[in-house]
Structure 1
Amino acid sequence: MKRSAIYFSLTFVAVAAGIPLLSGFVGNDTEAYTSNKDLRTLAPFDMWQGTPINEDGTFRNLYQPFDSRFSDLVKWKLSKNPLAERKKKDSRTLSVQSASELVASSDDYLIWLGHASFLIKKEGVTYLIDPILIDNFFLKRQSELPLSLSELPAIDYILISHNHRDHCDRATIEFLAERYPHAEFLTGLGVGKVIAPWLSGQQVQEAGWFQQYTMAEDQAEVIFVPTRHWSRRGLSDENKTLWGGFYFRFTDTSVYFMGDSGYGPHYMDIRNALGSPDYALLGVGAFEPKWFMHQSHISPTDAIKVFHELEGRFFFPMHFGTFDLSDEPLLMPLDILLENEGEIDGTLIFPTVGKNIW
């Protein structure tokens, strides 16, 4: 295969799967910031000025510039995977139980649908986070959904953490938009333009970091919070849309959804600004090889460190076991967590797809 063909092939795969692929861009030291002027900001510290942007208007991380090159992708893909044999022999899949009766009941629930997808019903409102409900050419589920698409309940809010295809799926969003014409989308700055062609006139709220979405008075507070990540969906849109996580403050409990993130000081900022979450939904997968993935995803041991910094009560691991995105075996992140469970200052909830986490 010619070098140009190899380049195109790897580039296409990387963009489709949300694999880091930047052209040596490491950001700059500008002091430009942005936000949605229509939303309330809950500043993490006195000097907070908003979400940082570069001179060209692209977004950047708070503390660590993202430094990834195409040559890194080639190096990873052409290197031998030391976990390959173990991965080949490990045929385990996630534990899955039906959620059909639960979602049909009047009960509140927090349900993992696999990967970074969650279904929440609390205080009479239903939220769907990062739904990837339909397989596509690059993403094939290794675990079943806990309910059929026809069994999904009425959805009030659909939350999209960033534009990578394992979090923001066109076919899924088109299906949801057609089925739930009154649902509202909550996401980060710029993402509205990505999903607008797939919608059926739904309202979209775009937030900067530490901004609170506008909700009804009797509904939860939902705040968009920072992650250490990046964005790209095509070949020329790197970091033009914002990435992040979500923090829910209900009447009697709080939930932090991490989104995709490497390790960094922003976790402490989140705790300082919004308090310690009762439930921390933390990514633990797609972390090998660490030299390549650490800027995008935390490892299971780093997730324990993050959980302690957040001072959370319940630790629920996600972002593993559903899609094959990296070098480690699908359930290796869970193995590592269980081996280190005694070091966790809090309660590790065993991750079962479809089970009520509350």
Structure 2
Amino acid sequence: MNRRKFLGSLGVAIPAVVLVQYLDLKPEPTLSYISNPKLPYDKLPSGWKGTPLRSDGTFQNLFHPFEASLKEVLKWKLKGNPQAEEKKKDKRRLEFQKIDNFQPNGKDQIIWLGHASYLIHIGGVTLLTDPVWLENWVLKRYSELPIDPETLEGVNYILISHDHRDHCDEATLKLLGKTLPQAQILTGLRMSDLLQPWMPKNKIQEAGWFQSYDLKESLRITFVPSRHWSRRGLLDTNQRLWGGYFIESGEKSFYFMSDSGYGPHFQMIGDTLGAPDYAMMGVGAFKPEWFMHPVHTSPMDAVKAFQEMGGKNFIPMHFGTFDLSDELLLEPLDWLTANQDAVGGNLIYPVLGKNLI
């Protein structure tokens, strides 16, 4: 995907319109802290106040407030990719196994469907994360989808981490709304206005950071902080909350990072909820690092975060399916496999459609 389409998907492709936002001279907003009063806090960091909300109605990261910079966007857009020719010649793709018919067999399963999309079965419960399966004007798939979306049944929960189009796809969610009307949507604060029109029959639960969802099953899913941002169009920057998920079932725990830059929140999550047995860590869309590091982790930063959380099994994701940045599609995996001793835990080699545990 070219830069113009990617930047357009984030609402930055029309400089004249965006410039108005950057020249806004309103006073610096103050902070308050909010949560969903219908959902519990089961475990909290010391001194926790709630999810930060600015007085202008936008959400804010815990430690690194997101600052949109038109100058930096244009610098990346106009500078050119030093790996452009290498990318043109690179034909490598992710390894792939077809799923003919998904049938839980009573054992825990984590099946990668590409990018940040997983089919997870743990504790007798089936989850989907960030399903983006149908190509559109923004995203072209460079890896095959291992499953026919219309054949999928028995999903209990669909986890939507934030509103960016490579994690939240209107066409895919409309399809799943028809085929999986019984599945509940677990997401962040203020996401319902976007999702409910696409999935009118599906119940939606919105959580603030460190809140746990109201589930019938003996499973705990907690919405946790990430260092990122949100935007669907031109005028809705950071109006919907973003985050990851910490899933606990029996004696096992699973961390789904979603999108995040590196920061102290990783240590906070580990200290609060414990060391994850399996951590699905974003490692792609990281070049150029000077531009991407506030919102995406490089393989090196992901390993550092994994170690700070005390993770046991490292599952890399967020690479190889969509071309969102300057590096080669499989470059993050190349670094990880060449530096397995540096991971600090067991590196699970990712194969699309294969149970990874």
Is contact 1:117-1:130 (8 Å) kept? yes
Q: Deviation at 1:208?
A: 0.3
Partner of 2:155 in structure 1? 155
| Percentage identity across paired residues of the two chains | 49
The aligned counterpart of 1:325 is 324
Distance in 2 separating the partners of 1:188 and 1:33: 14
Which of 7, 11, 15 is the aligned partner of 1:14? 7
Residues 29/41 of structure 1: CA separation in 2 closer, same or farther (3 Å cut)? farther
- State the aligned residue count: 349
Amino acid in structure 2 at the alignment position of 1:54:
R
Runs of 4+ in structure 1 over 3 Å off: 9-13, 17-29, 101-108
Give the corresponding residue for 1:284.
283
Distance 1:326 1:235 in 2: 21
SS at match of 1:173: helix
Distance 1:154 1:96 in 2: 23
Residues 320-329 or 103-112, more deviating = 103-112
The answer for the alignment partner of 1:234 in structure 2 is 233
Worse overlay, 47-56 or 83-92: 83-92
**TM-score of the superposition, structure 1-length normalised?**
0.92
SS in 2 for 1:100: coil
Q: Report matched runs for 1:55-66 at 5 Å.
A: 55-66=55-66
Listed as ranges, the matches of 1:150-299 within 5 Å are 150-216=150-216, 218-299=217-298
Decide whether the 8 Å contact of 2:102 with 2:152 is kept in 1.
no
Summarize the Cα distance change of 1:341–1:178 in structure 2 as closer, same or farther, 3 Å threshold: same
Relative to structure 1, is the Cα distance of residues 10 and 109 closer, same or farther in structure 2, using a 3 angstrom cutoff? closer
User: Residues 39 and 214 of structure 2 are in contact (CA less than 8 Å); yes or no, is this contact kept in structure 1?
Assistant: yes
Distance in 2 separating the partners of 1:322 and 1:18? 22
Give the structure 2 partner of residue 96 of structure 1. Answer: 96
Separation in structure 2 between the aligned mates of residue 253 and residue 100 of structure 1, nearest angstrom:
28
Q: Is the 8 A contact 1:16 1:138 kept in 2?
A: yes
Of residues 174-183 and 43-52 in structure 1, the stretch that sits farther from structure 2 once superposed is 43-52
**Quick check: 1:277–1:310 contact (8 Å CA) kept in 2?**
yes
Residues 130, 150 of structure 1: CA spacing in aligned structure 2 closer, same or farther, 3 A cutoff?
same
C-alpha distance after superposition, 1:53-80 (max 9, x if no partner): 1111210000011122222222111112
- 1:308 to 2:300 alignment: no
Report the AA paired with residue 337 of structure 1. L
TM-score by length of 2: 0.92
Give SS of 2:120's match.
strand
Distance 1:91 1:273, change over 3 A: same
Partner SS, residue 94 of structure 1: coil
Tell me, what secondary structure is at the counterpart of 1:206? strand
Structure 2 unmatched runs, 5+: none
Question: Which whole-Å deviations, capped at 9, do the CAs of 1:144-177 have from their partners, x for residues lacking one?
Answer: 0112123323211111000000000000110001
SS of corresponding position for 2:182: coil
Larger mean CA deviation between 143-152 and 340-349 belongs to 143-152
Secondary structure of the structure 2 residue equivalent to 1:205: strand
